[in-house]
Amino acid sequence: MPKLLLKFNAAVIKEVAMDKPSLTVGRKDDNDIVIDNPAISGHHCRLSMEGGGYYVEDLESTNGTFVNEKKIKKSGLHHNDVVGLAKHALVFLNEAEAAAEAANQPSSDATMVLTPQKQAELVAASSASAKPAGPEKQGWLRILQGVVDVNEYELKGMSTYIGKSDRVQIQIKGSGLFGSAPEVAASVHRKPEGFVLVAVTEGYPLVNDVKVAGSTVLKEGDMIVCGSTKMMFELRDAAPAK
């Protein structure tokens, strides 16, 4: 089954399965995919399956719909195509189409001859990939005020999302600069350089009283504020593997 990755700038907000004949995208709550952004029209575009293929159609949106950076009225969709919606994007993933394309690629029975240097490079790359990515210590967010569901949250996944949506891991409350809290205010991603906070709604999250417009690597003791919810970032020793 094809799926969509909803992204804001470089951050993946959520994954949506194409499990219906059509999905609508827009700012209003009656859409299948709701994007809480004033640059998105109430009903912005529609993604649908027609005759065995997949298509995206602009619904006369104010700022337009783009496929691979080209403005469209209606366009077919293929594996890895990017549907642009203001600063958001929907990446269309169709593994069945990708597998079919791979099967049609010409094969070769010839054996590749590796030089000693190339063999050493492959061994080094294999050793590097075997090492666990990300920081050695485990990240936690401890809720200091504005608790909604939990008092603390372990950042054990590759990505953790913060907002008022019931689909995020950490729900917040309160208003602030943008009025009511956004569906997704920020996200924290586990990367080789550490835990990185990304402002999904630019300027809404504060780290140590500074507005975040892009991303920032979190440090032990950093104070994160989203609306009326205040959190502290902590690094703790990871639990031993069982």
pTM: 0.47
pLDDT digits (tens, 9 = 90+) for 135-145: 468 999 998 98
Torsion over CA: 37, 39, 43, 46 (sign):
negative
Residue of 88, 225, 209, 219 whose CA lies nearest to 170 = 225
pLDDT digits (tens, 9 = 90+) for 148-157: 667 888 988 8
pLDDT digits (tens, 9 = 90+) for 79-123: 889 999 988 999 999 887 767 666 665 555 556 666 666 666 666
For 95, the 3-state DSSP assignment is helix
